[in-house]
Amino acid sequence: MSNTSNEDLINMISAMSNEEMESLLLDLSGSQFWPAILKYYGQRAELAKNSLMTLDPFKDQTQMARFQGLLAGITDLQTMVAMIDEKKTKVEAGVEVPEAKKTK
């Protein structure tokens, strides 16, 4: 387990730039930990899908929206890392890559 408290972690996340985040995600995707992360995300996605299938779309609209949002977030991580890797490859090849809009 990490010795980082929730407050320390929140401060680290707040101070991290998007460039640092992208670099760390690329490092993580090439590490021994990546398959475990993907397995965990896959299990969470399966749980969300199974839970979604048990809901009544007329009675449980809010809960359905939550599970759909969870699924979108789970599947987005691997796609985001692939896009970051593609961008890095283009930059290394000298291809101009438009800069993304800044987020808060």
Per residue in 64-91, pLDDT (tens digit) is 888 888 888 777 888 888 888 898 888 8
In 3D space, the residue among 68, 87, 70 whose CA is nearest the CA of residue 22 turns out to be 87
> CB of 86 within 8 A of CB of 31?
no
Per residue in 33-67, pLDDT (tens digit) is 999 988 998 898 888 888 888 888 889 889 888 88
Single-letter amino acid, residue 63: Q
Per residue in 6-21, pLDDT (tens digit) is 888 899 999 999 999 9
Q: Which helix (H) or strand (E) holds 76?
A: helix 61-92
